[in-house]
Chains A and B, each alone.
Chain A
């Protein structure tokens, strides 16, 4: 009984989830920037959570940042198992602090998942997009790759 988010194909408001997903499928990472206080949110929000200002604009996010938290998952979510990860093939997920200041959760690529203790908090990462099939539908997911 898989419950899946069903969103309208038409992205009516560029600060809501359907638009963010559409941008991701076009390999663009966007956020919202408050016109009053400058606070940036990724994914975008139509109202600034910092100053409650409702004047926000879309902000292009450069996609550079650093790793602030991570895990290497051995017992994965069923949708990751569907992608081929299992108890022998682990994946890394983490929280990235973007240069723009916002923090975002994403898949982390380019790390040696067989040596999780060697992964460094603070490691520089850059945005990458992963295409995968979920429930028979191709979707684009946000990822960050470790810089050498």
Chain B
């Protein structure tokens, strides 16, 4: 272990309500989680030295193009340093990673990581296109029209051929995730499903079916470090 790396603790968490959140804008959605993460840690936004905001579709599926600026200002954090980052489906984790490094390195003592997405302001085809553009526009999206469930489907078929992974194995992931949704009062979908339900659901990008795929929705989570 590098002795120069400080130990980092999570001192507060905030979990906003996920779902179709047409009742709020992105800053209001983010603040629900940020406020809880502050209260949980007995902090105010002014105590936060740096805020890392993970949001992949800023300016694409919701209106604000510079999400970190808008959200930190709304939260009365100014002049707190901030950055917006994206890392596809791991965007929230990327924000945590940046926040962790700030504290671990000794640059900051008190930071916040926020993951926020607002995807329901645009229609489904538009979202399908924006997410599909995650890869190379020319060689992947335009050339063969891949969607995001399609990118993962490529990996799945290769994995199935190499390791003998089955549709049932993949379905169990969705069954497990829905179970955690069931016991989380802030989750969007709160129903238990079975392997049979997953296998019987309509195809999205084979072998990914409707119940294998994340629904398009809105939500925010924040942690204080």
Contacts and interface: CB of A to CB of B under 8 A. Distances in A.
Given A74-B203, A74-B206, A75-B147, A121 B142 contact: no
B219 interface: no
A65 interface: no
A104 B140 CA distance: 9
Grouping DSSP codes into helix (H, G, I), strand (E, B) and loop, the B interface class, with mixed when no group exceeds half, is helix
Given A21-B138, A75-B128, A68 B158 contact: yes
A124 interface: no
A33 interface: no
A17 interface: yes
B198 to A, nearest CB: 15
Interface in B160-181: 160-161
A93 B126 CA distance: 20
Contacts of B185: none
* Residues of B in contact with A, size category: 20 to 34
B205 A74 contact: yes
B161 A78 contact: no
Contacts of A90: 203, 206
Contact of A71 (B128, B129, B132, B154): B154
A77 B206 contact: no
Interface of B: 125-126, 128-129, 132, 137-147, 149-150, 153-158, 160-161, 202-208
B144 A106 contact: yes
A75 B149 contact: yes
* Residues of A in contact with B, size category: 35 or more
A56 B159 CA distance: 33
Interface string A97-121: 0000000111100000000110101
Interface of A: 5, 17, 21, 43, 68-81, 85, 87, 90-91, 93-95, 104-107, 116-117, 119, 121-122, 134, 139, 141-143
A141 B206 contact: no
A17 B143 CA distance: 13
B192 to A, nearest CB: 24
Contacts of B146: 71, 73, 77, 93, 105
A107 B150 CA distance: 12
A69 B158 contact: yes
Contact of B139 (A87, A105, A122): A105
Given A5-B137, A91-B145, A106-B144, A78 B129 contact: yes
Given A70-B154, A121-B158, A5 B138 contact: yes
Nearest to B125: A78
A32 to B, nearest CB: 14
21 contacts: A21-B138, A43-B139, A71-B146, A71-B154, A71-B157, A73-B205, A74-B204, A74-B205, A75-B128, A75-B147, A79-B141, A81-B125, A90-B203, A106-B144, A116-B206, A119-B157, A121-B157, A121-B158, A139-B142, A142-B144, A143-B144
Contacts of B126: 78
A73 B205 CA distance: 4
Given A17-B138, A74-B202, A78-B129, 18 more contacts: A43-B139, A70-B157, A71-B153, A71-B157, A71-B206, A73-B146, A76-B128, A77-B145, A79-B129, A79-B141, A93-B144, A106-B144, A116-B203, A117-B207, A119-B157, A121-B157, A121-B158, A141-B142
